[in-house]
Amino acid sequence: MAPQGHSLKLQSGFRNTLKVHRANDILFEFQNGYRKAIVDIGVRTCTCNRFQLDQLTCAHEIAVLQKANHDPYDYCSPYFTKEAMIHAYEETVFPVGHEDTWEVPENIKSMTLYPSQVRVRVRRPKKRCKTFWEINAK
């Protein structure tokens, strides 16, 4: 496995704290204290949504897969395999020249990009305001 695959070994220690209940061959419920969630190994989903996002098995799925006698590495995306990493770098990667030498189409040059309309949330100030006595004490 690629370097990311080592996180599966770290997470497998966490699986011992989970209680896994089998609903059928592909549907499982896990419980960790007061939290409950469902893992479907047929569709490869977990309610924590980690597999859907980065396609690495989460600790919940590892616990379920080991209870079902499946290898967790078989459920990871093939992009995380050693072969995929080697294949990605087997071709020559050429350096990009200076910006002045790039051939950029006119329709791309004429585009105007604006910053996203993200509002900064109002939150607690990072530092407290100094009092009159603290300012004049110096």
Give the residue with greater pLDDT, 91 vs 125.
91
Q: What is residue 30's predicted lDDT score, i.e. its pLDDT?
A: 81
**Mean local confidence (pLDDT), 42-57:** 85
Lowest-pLDDT range, 56-60, 113-117, 128-132? 128-132
Is 134 a member of any domain? no
Q: Is residue 31 part of a domain?
A: yes
Residue 56 in any domain: the answer is yes
Residue 19 lies in a domain: yes
Residue corresponding to tokens 């190994």: 41
Residue 60 has pLDDT above 50, yes or no: yes
Q: What is the extent of the structural domain holding 28?
A: 3-88
**pLDDT level of residue 10 (50, 70, 90 thresholds):** very low
Domain-located, residue 76 = yes
Please name the residues in contact with 104: beta carbons below 8 A apart, sequence gap of 6 or more: none
Instruction: Tell me, yes or no, whether 124 lies in a domain.
Output: no
Domain count, the chain: 1
What CA–CA distance (Å, rounded) separates 125 from 123? 6
Q: Is residue 99 part of a domain?
A: no
Distance CA 28, CA 44 (A): 11
Predicted TM-score (pTM) of this structure:
0.52
Domain-located, residue 113: no
Q: 12: buried, middle or exposed (CB in 10 Å: 19+, 13-18, 0-12)?
A: middle
Flag whether pLDDT at 124 surpasses 80: no
Picking from 2, 60, 6, 5, the residue whose alpha carbon sits closest to that of residue 36 is 60
